Structure formats: structure tokens, C-alpha cells
Amino acid sequence: MEQETKSMSLIQHLEEFRKRLITCLIAIVVTSAASFLYVEEIRYLLIRPAGSLELIYITPPEALMANIRLAILSGIILAMPILVYQFLAFIMPALYKNEKKILFPIVIAMLLMFSVGIAFAYTIAFPFAINFFLKFASEDLIPMFTITQYIAFVTQFLLTFGLVFQLPLLFLVLGMMNVVSAPFLRKNRKYVLLVIAVGSALITPPDVISQLMIGGPLWLLYEVGILLVAIVQFRKRRRREKQE
């Protein structure tokens, strides 16, 4: 099977990589600078799920550095379409036609599921979690979060859910590589459900509705992953049967 494009020397590959890396860095710098102009609005969006929570800073440069880090993180997110395009443009010439057909949908699905995960965490999971932690406050115990600690907590929380929502795609890739099978995932379903139930109970109020709002989508992701693995392995068996 021949490549669609002519082979490039190592120097040419490195030169192209350097150009695309510079393009990515410029995009991040521009979007980060634009984000810094609206950093107060961005910070407000992160604080809003916590209600009337007030943040503090305990060292002179802490607020400025926290704003800079928040602007850079926002800049990376805004520049993501450019970063993904540069990545695909760099590796696509080295791929075969069938690999190109698989890669593009997977990348689009990853971005979509990552966005859905962050949206789910921001609108549903994080408000439950932060309100749960704030319930430990009392007359003798006043919640006073520094801006650095709060931003680190909320960004890690959102990014974690963004990654968790990649679970079906991870199962799909592992199924294509024959690392996991649908029967194996079904066999271990009860352990996964136990982990989801315990985690949902820890970060939500003690009522079934709240726990289902968190645990339900996570369980659904697991079931979708099993379905994708089953479909992939079924197609593999069909292809082997046709070849025999």
C-alpha cells in the first residue's frame, strides 16, 4: 500500500513541525491575551456555581498570577480548533486512506464528548460538589478559599469530567486493539456501578434524584462503551468469516 504523499526527509519533517508549533504558540498567545482582557468575566463564570462565595488572596502577586494562569487556560481552550487542525495537518500526510477515515471522526468525537463532559460538570456535577463542601461551614469554621486554590479545584474538576466522558471512545479504541471485550466489560459492570454509586453519594445531597443526576450519565457512558466494543468486535468477526 503506497502513501498518498511523497516521503519527506527528517529535516523537512522537523521544519514542518517547527512551523506548526510556532503557529500553535502564536494562537495560544493571541487567545490568552484576549482572555486576559475578559478574565474577570471568566472568573465570574467559574465562581457562579458556588453562589455567593467570595475569594481571597494572601500574597501580593497571587491574584495577578491566578488571573494570568486562568487567561492562559482559557486561551488554550479557545485555540483548540487551531491546535487540532495543526495536529491533523501534520500527521495526515503520513496516514493511509483507511487510517484517515478513522482518525478524523474519532478526533471530532473526542472534542464533542470533552465539551459535553465539561458542560455536564459545570451545570450539574460541580454545583452539587461545591455546595456539599460548603455545608461543612459553621460559626467556628468559615470557608475562605484563595483564588489560586479555587481556580485549581474547579478547573481540575471540569477537566476530569471532560476526560471521563472520553470513556466510550477509550473502550472503542481498546476494543479495536482487542485489549478489552464486551463480555469482560459486562462481567465487571457491577464493580463499576458500585464505584459510580459511591462517588455520586459522596458529592450529592442524600436523595435519590440528585444521585441519579450524577451517576446516571456516568453509567450510561459505560453502557455506550460496551455497545461500541460489541459492534467493533462483531464487525471483526464478520470480516474474518468472509475471508475464510
How far is Cα of residue 53 from the mean position of the Cα atoms in its chain? 26
Please name the helix (run of DSSP H) or strand (run of DSSP E) that holds residue 201, with its range, or none.
helix 189-203
Mean pLDDT of 161-182: 83
Residue, of 171 and 30, whose pLDDT is higher: 30
Give pTM, 2 decimals. Answer: 0.77
Q: Is 232 exposed, middle or buried (0-12, 13-18, 19+ CB in 10 A)?
A: buried
Percent of the chain exceeding pLDDT 90 equals 25
- pLDDT digits 0-9 by tens, 27-62: 999 999 999 999 999 999 999 888 778 889 999 999
Distance of CA 64 to the CA centre of its chain: 26
Contact 54, 60 (CB under 8 A): no
pLDDT for 203 beyond 70? no
How would residue 238 be classed by pLDDT, with cut points 50, 70 and 90? confident
Is 79 within 8 Å of 27 (Cβ atoms)?
A: yes
User: How far is residue 225's CA from residue 213's CA, in Å, rounded to a whole number?
Assistant: 19
CB contact at 8 A, 214 and 124 = yes
Q: In this structure, which amino acid lies at residue 147?
A: I
| Residue 26's pLDDT band (cuts 50, 70, 90) | very high
On the question of pLDDT at 156 being above 60, the answer is yes
Instruction: Give the per-residue pLDDT at 99.
Output: 66
pLDDT band at 4 (very low <50, low <70, confident <90, very high): very low
Cα–Cα distances in angstroms (integers) from residue 150 to residues 111, 118, 125, 203, 215, in the given order: 25, 17, 16, 17, 24
Say what the pLDDT of residue 210 is: 63
Nearest partner of 57 among 48, 70, 45, judged by Cα: 70
For 73-129, the pLDDT digits (tens) are: 999 999 998 998 898 888 877 767 776 777 778 888 888 989 998 998 899 888 888
What is the rounded distance in angstroms from the CA atom of residue 235 to the CA atom of residue 102? 15
Contacts with 148 (C-beta within 8 Å, 6 or more apart), sequence order: 57, 62, 65, 66
Task: Identify the band that residue 2 occupies on the pLDDT scale cut at 50, 70 and 90.
Answer: very low
All cell numbers assigned to 185: 466489560
Using CA atoms, how far residue 236 sits from 109, 116, 175, in Å, is: 22, 30, 10
- CA distance readout (Å), 228 to 89, 185, 222, 231, 239: 28, 11, 10, 5, 17
Report the helix count and the strand count for the chain, using DSSP H and E: 11, 0
